[in-house]
Structure 1
Amino acid sequence: MMELSEDDLAAVSTLRSAVMRLSRRLRHQRVDESLSPTEMSVLGTLARCGSATPGELARKEHVQPPSMTRIVAMLEGKGLVRRDPHPDDRRQVVVRQTEQAEAMLEKSRSLRNAWLAQLVEGLDEKERAVLREAAPVLEKLAHL
């Protein structure tokens, strides 16, 4: 693996700081203020990955299984997920998002996209071109 140049390392530092600030600001653009960031993250994971057992969700979200059990119970109480019997193991359940969760997530995505689009409108055409070029690279970094 090749070493990064000083310019690359400076860009990494700038990128880290900018991504953290932007992420924090995006998290504040929420449809449902009653949900914690972790609860929103669990719903997002279910939307991206499909149904999962509480144990699988705990691993994906990097929380302890008892914590995930509480999170799922809270989400179920709000009508955002349901627990179905596991098809192969009757000792387990499979957590699925509800239509209410899907609608809320779509509304949240729309709100965040609109907020971000408003920021992008403030950029000049050259900056927008750079952003269009950088978006796939940032997406790749997010999934490495």
Structure 2
Amino acid sequence: MATFRLARRLRAERAENELSDGQLSVLFGLRATGTHTLGELAEREHVSAPSMNRTVNCLEESGYLTRIPDTTDKRKANIQLTDAGTNVVKDTVRKRDAWLHNQFRALDHADREILAQAADLMRRLATQ
């Protein structure tokens, strides 16, 4: 439960409060893995194509991403971040890192050591 609460608290640290968690997830994913088609985004986010289309439309209207026609298949469009989308991701990461940094700074060395060990255990669990 503590992991979920920490994740929720971190998600609250964002550069743009108008964006939903799902919208931010799309922006973060595009930043991490590059351009995708709508179908690829829907699959990666585990949502339906129509649902992803609504998300992409909203993000496109806000100027955070753009659709580029596919050069080989004119029925497809490749979705990529704009500079504004990249900035939202970078600014959100900065805010989250700053929040974590301040929280960790308040801990003593022994508690930070325990967290480092717990992080290693969680990483191993997640990869099994």
Fold agreement, TM-score > 0.5:
yes
Tell whether 2:39 aligns with 1:18: no
Distance 1:46-1:20 versus aligned 2 partners, 3 A rule: same
Aligned equivalents of 1:93 and 1:77: distance in 2?
16
Within a 5 Å distance, the mapping from 1:1-144 to structure 2 comes to 17-142=1-126
Q: Aligned equivalents of 1:124 and 1:60: distance in 2? A: 39
Per-residue Cα deviation, 1:68-96 (whole angstroms, up to 9, x for no partner): 11111110101100000113211100000
**Structure with the larger RCO, 1 or 2 (CA within 8 Å, 6+ apart):** 2
Q: Distance in 2 between matches of 1:141 and 1:117?
A: 24
The aligned amino acid for 1:83 is R
Q: 1:136 to 1:47 in 2, by over 3 A?
A: farther
Unaligned runs of 5+ in 2: none
Question: Percent identity, aligned pairs only?
Answer: 38
The TM-score with structure 1 as length reference comes to: 0.82
Larger Cα-atom Rg: 1
Instruction: Give the alignment's Cα RMSD to 1 decimal.
Output: 1.6
- TM-score of the superposition, structure 2-length normalised? 0.91
Q: Structure 1 runs of 4+ off > 3 angstroms?
A: 133-144
Q: How many residues of Structure 1 are paired with residues of Structure 2 in the alignment?
A: 128
